[in-house]
């Protein structure tokens, strides 16, 4: 997959990148509650599982914005043309998990087919990396479906990890609507609060418009 090198001297984010990689090196996280009432109803009608639909929506947003595809690769700063999701699968029998990845497609039925094929082939395999070697153009999604958390933050020792990390929690209801807590972790060198807002708002829009892309 194509990796376009960023010429730092000509990059509009150069002063921000240098500040948040040196003087003010930091990542940050934001957690928001996404209304998934309509999505869950549509998934139920279509007999589609929630997790791959969530992975698809997140992947679609990541692939729509270069800020979420900017990374270091072979020591170079650049932007991937396309990112594939790396997601966790839980093993109930021993309470461990494995990480899988599936090839992204903007076409949901095709992505769903990729996901189902990977789960059928690798879903029961134990070990951290059940599918073997991962391509470099992957980003991370995890799930904590046992807790309807109000905040979630990863303390990364590797402060050069520029790609976003997305974590979803447990569904909860206010008596009328159903919500899903979603945490987004970004590196401030490549993503500002504006970009985090874009991510959260677009996730809600994709959820609300699910009948437009949820075709099987």
Spatial separation of the C-alpha atoms in residues 121 and 118, rounded to whole Å = 5
Q: What is the pLDDT of residue 1?
A: 67
- pTM, full prediction: 0.95
Please confirm, yes or no, whether 12 is among the known catalytic residues: no
Active-site residue (options: 91, 187, 188, 195) = 188
Structure-token pair, residue 74: 């072979």
List 166's β-bridge partners, or say none: 141, 184
DSSP for 67-126 reads GGSEEEETTEEEEES--EEEEEEEETTTTEEEEEE----SSHHHHHHHHHHHHHHHTT--
Give the model confidence (pLDDT) of 11-56 as tens digits. 999 999 999 999 888 999 999 999 999 999 999 999 999 999 999 9
Q: Kindly report the backbone phi and psi dihedral angles of residue 62, in degrees, each rounded to the nearest multiple of 5, phi listed first.
A: -55, -45
Question: How would CATH label the architecture of 31-212?
Answer: 2-Layer Sandwich (3.30)
CB 17 within 8 A of CB 8: yes
Q: What is the pLDDT of residue 216?
A: 54
Spatial separation of the C-alpha atoms in residues 19 and 34, rounded to whole Å = 32
């Amino acid at each position: 997959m194509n990796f376009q090198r960023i010429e730092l001297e000509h990059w509009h984010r150069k002063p921000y990148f240098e500040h948040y990689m040196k003087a003010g090196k930091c990542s940050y996280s934001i957690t928001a509650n996404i209304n998934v009432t309509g999505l869950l109803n549509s998934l139920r009608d279509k007999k589609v599982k929630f997790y791959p639909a969530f992975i698809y929506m997140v992947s679609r947003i990541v692939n729509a914005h270069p800020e979420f595809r900017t990374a270091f690769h072979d020591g170079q700063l650049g932007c991937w043309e396309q990112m594939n999701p790396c997601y966790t699968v839980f093993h109930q029998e021993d309470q461990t998990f494995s990480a899988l990845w599936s090839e992204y497609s903007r076409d949901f039925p095709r992505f769903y087919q990729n996901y189902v094929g990977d789960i059928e082939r690798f879903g029961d395999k134990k070990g951290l990396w059940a599918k073997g070697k991962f391509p470099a153009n992957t980003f991370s999604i995890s799930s904590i479906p046992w807790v309807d958390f109000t905040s979630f933050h990863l303390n990364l020792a590797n402060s050069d990890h520029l790609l976003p990390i997305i974590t979803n929690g447990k569904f909860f209801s206010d008596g009328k609507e159903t919500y899903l807590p979603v945490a987004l972790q970004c590196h401030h060198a490549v993503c500002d609060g504006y970009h985090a807002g874009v991510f959260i708002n677009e996730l809600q829009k994709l959820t609300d418009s699910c009948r437009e892309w949820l075709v099987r």
